[in-house]
Amino acid sequence: MDKKPDDPRRQQIIDLLQENMNAEFRATLQYICHRISVYSRDSVLGESFKSAALDEMAHILYFSDMIDKLGGAPVFTDWPVHSGSSITEMLESDIALEQEARDRYSAQLETLKDHPQLHTLIESVLSDEEDHHNEFSRYLSSYAGDTIKQ
């Protein structure tokens, strides 16, 4: 790929990486908020949120490093996060974020077919998002039937 600043393909990829980086910031912060909110009630779920947040933080850096490599400058947006005390609402919001991530990265596998390094990176990130989605969904099913804890 051409590294010239006016290469439209390069700019398209940098824009896509910026979107990914900011979505990963949002997920990181939301899962840390949820970890803090649930830890005293369910430390196992709290650890699950923390572990997902650490994965998302690693994803931020994969994308920001790629932006650097392509000669772009990372741009930070706002990162709205869900907060509240209901565990089922937290999990529903987190599952929605994971579904957005899966949709975004699945679409990018198509867009980035001509860029093997990025394609491999997106495949690996997508696999993490699928794990998060599955884990949060398992917790939601166990909480859905528990009217005391939710």
Residues that bind Fe ion (CB under 5 A): 24, 56, 59, 129, 132
Question: Structure tokens of 94?
Answer: 């987190």
Length of the chain: 150
**Alpha-helix runs per DSSP H in 39-144:** 43-69, 87-111, 116-144
Minimum distance from residue 8 beta carbon to Fe ion (Å): 27
The nearest distance, CB 66 to Fe ion, in angstroms, is 14
Nearer to Fe ion, 24 or 64 (CB): 24
16's enclosing H/E stretch is: helix 8-38
User: Cβ 107 to Fe ion, closest distance in Å?
Assistant: 15
Per-residue b/e over 46-56, b at no fewer than 16 CB within 10 Å?
A: bebbbebbebb
Name the residue nearer to Fe ion (CB basis): 34 or 59. 59
Q: Which is nearer to Fe ion, 35 or 59 (CB)?
A: 59
Whole-angstrom distance, CA of residue 119 vs CA of residue 29: 26
Shortest reach from residue 125's CB to Fe ion, in Å: 6
- 10 or 102: whose CB is closer to Fe ion? 102
